[in-house]
Amino acid sequence: MSKVAEIPAVWLSGASCSGCSVSLLNSASPNIKNLLVDPVVPGKHLNLRFHATIMAGQGEPVVKVLKETSSELPGEYLLLVEGAVPEGPFCAVGEHFTMEEMTVELARDALAVIAVGTCASFGGIPSGEPNPTGARSVREVLEANGISKPLINLPGCPPHPDWLVGTLAMVLLDGLPGPEDLDPALRPKAFYGKLIHDNCPRRAYFDSGQFARHPGEPGCLYELGCKGPMTYADCPLRLWNDGTNWCVGAGSPCIGCVEPSFPDRFQPIFEKIDEDGLERFRIRTR
Ligand code: FSX
Ligand code: SF4
């Protein structure tokens, strides 16, 4: 029987709602059992050594696994982080380490870091104004600590499971993505390369000036706060919940959850973005 290579991975959870984990658990193909137990791609299996929400173990023994991963497998493991990273005492891993310390320690010796979700990628909701815990994105924490590890951002509040599973499959098949595979916000272009607005089934309404005035009405949802014209993701093509539907398809404006501007610059969610919001969006974007 041919040998299956084990790719070690550890998953840290910072300031978040755990929706990123829940979204991953909803992965349809492969399902979560396939992902954790079977080879993700032929000959390569992901060995998830630590994930606080889904592992059976607890207490000191599992924190030991985390520490051993960095000391015994330097340069070999993937570090996945969900949630933003608050300042010292506001978030802990086990009883003796802050989220910040553990993120820095594990990132230093990782093969690469994957920020799962908008909170980890850009700060997201936990770092929204006034940000009392000083929560930062993984990128900010790495930069502040002089760590220049390969970093992939997979935003979304939460991210589509395919974006993570597909990225893991790409890494296992072809190795780490090159700069040409990522956009300036370090998102894989394969999933975040297209503007929502350009693939929206309501686009003809927008072009002909037919705007819905109330949720549930036909028409373009721009006047109801849709951020599709500023948001890059493949939701209208991929759909969610195993191809069932997506936000705009269900009558809700796109809230722009994959963008660095989310949530502060895209608020109020259900109001048309004003000129000030548009300008701030233009400044930070491509
Ligand atoms: Fe953040 Fe993840 Fe939003 Fe929640 O855990 S990206 S709050 S859906 O889920 O970190
Ligand atoms: Fe664009 Fe949103 Fe209107 Fe769709 S509903 S056409 S994404 S503004």
CATH code where residue 165 lies? 3.40.50.700
Do 251 and 128 lie in one domain? The reply is no
Nearest CA to ligand 2 atom 1: 197
Report whether 260 contacts 120 (CB < 8 A): no
Among 13, 16, 25, 53, which residue has the most ligand 1 atoms within 8 Å of its CB, making it the best to mutate? 16
Half-sphere exposure of residue 171: CA atoms within 13 angstroms, side-chain side: 25
Average pLDDT score over residue span 133-162: 98
Query: Mean pLDDT over all residues of the chain?
Result: 94
- Give the Å distances, CA to CA, from 198 to 31, 46, 174, 194, 236: 30, 35, 29, 7, 9
Does the residue 124 lie in any domain?
yes
With cut-offs at 50, 70 and 90, classify the pLDDT of residue 157. very high
Pocket test for ligand 1, best of 116, 119, 262 (most atoms within 8 A of CB): 119
For residues 208 and 87, state if they share a domain. Answer: no
Whether residue 152 sits in one domain with residue 203: no
- pLDDT, tens only, 227-270: 999 999 999 999 999 999 999 999 999 999 999 999 998 999 99
Nearest ligand to residue 16 Cα:
1
Give residue 163 CA to ligand 1 midpoint distance, Å: 14
Q: 180 with 204, same domain? A: no
Q: Which atom of ligand 1 is nearest to the CA of 119?
A: 1
For the annotated catalytic residues, the residue numbers are: 17, 20, 119, 157, 197, 200, 220, 226, 235, 247, 254, 257
152 found inside a domain: yes
Determine the pLDDT at residue 286: 44
User: How many angstroms separate the CA atoms of 203 and 207, rounded?
Assistant: 6
- Choose one of 143, 158, 190: the last residue of a domain: 190
Phi and psi dihedrals of 208, rounded to 5? Answer: -100, 10
Question: Is 60 in the same domain as 160?
Answer: yes
Residue in the block written with tokens 């340069």: 75
* Domain boundaries, position 262: 196-281
CATH of the domain at 269: 4.10.480.10
Q: How many domains does the chain have?
A: 2
Taking residues 213-217, what's their average pLDDT? 91
Task: Yes or no: say if 113 and 96 are a contact pair by the CB < 8 Å rule.
Answer: no
**17-26, 37-46, 234-243: which has the minimum mean pLDDT?**
37-46
Whose Cα sits closest to atom 8 in ligand 2?
222
User: And the tokens for 41?
Assistant: 């791609």
Dist. CA 272 → ligand 2 center (Å) = 11
Best CA proximity match to 102, nearest among 14, 186, 15, 17 = 14
Summarised one tens digit per residue, pLDDT across range 172-207 is 999 999 999 999 999 999 999 999 999 999 999 999
183 with 203, same domain: the answer is: no
Residues 156 and 247 in one domain: no
Tokens standing for residue 172: 């296992």
pLDDT of residue 112: 98
Task: Enumerate residues lining ligand 1, CB below 6 A.
Answer: 16-20, 82-83, 117-119, 124-125, 157-158
Residue where a domain terminates, one of 190, 222, 239: 190
54 and 21 Cβ atoms separated by less than 8 Å: yes
Q: Is residue 286 part of a domain?
A: no
Q: Are 161 and 57 found together in one domain?
A: yes
